[in-house]
Amino acid sequence: MGRAIVLFDFDGTLADTFESGAALINEFAVKFGYKPLDFASHRNLSARELVKLSGVRWWQIPKLVRFFRRESVNRADRIKPFNGIEDMVKRIFKVCDMGILTTNASQTIGRFLDNLQLEKYFCYLRSNVPLFGKSRALRRTVRMLKQHYTYILYVGDEIRDIEACRKVGLPIVSVSWGFNSREILAAHNDSVADSADELAQKVLDRVIEGLSK
């Protein structure tokens, strides 16, 4: 039997950063000249649609992403995991390897994992992925990981994750507790988990099935 690895998104999947992230973005709206948004009312919108709604210019995005990454590092110790995430990680670890691929900064992820004593469960980290460059990052990561793994699965909370995985031909399990609503995720993906326990079971089922082929 081969080996498998599960790659997780960070914000909205492992880490409960929705409210703090939305507050952070709105806090600097005046400084950077875009509209503050009620993110909770727009969970059916994609990241691209929210950017358009906020009035952010596309050329501003790289600068804004870098700024918010730095801010997230300063606030990393306030980030909490979603309910059941720690047990989910330990359960999946018994069967396969795990990694993280995210737009967030490596320092933020490192401090989050260290605070929860979860760093030893993750063998791969790719951070600072461009906001709209996830498919390219996934393609490069998959190409490298295929040298060591016969099955690779991604877990994320956004339409953006589903679209990126589809471009790469990578299977994905979505979680309903993050950035996008369950309704819109289910319209794009037939595998959506509503709790950490359900996510662990879906991931393990997909891994076992994938390795048996």
Positions marked active-site = 9
**Contact (CB, 8 A) for 1 and 7:** no
156 exposure class (CB count in 10 Å sphere: 0-12, 13-18, 19+) = buried
Packing angle of the helix pair 47-54, 159-168 (nearest 10 deg): 130
* Residue 48 token pair: 């691209």
Rounded to whole angstroms, the Cα distance separating 178 from 194 reads 10
**Contact (CB, 8 A) for 105 and 73:** yes
Rounded to whole angstroms, the Cα distance separating 96 from 142 reads 16
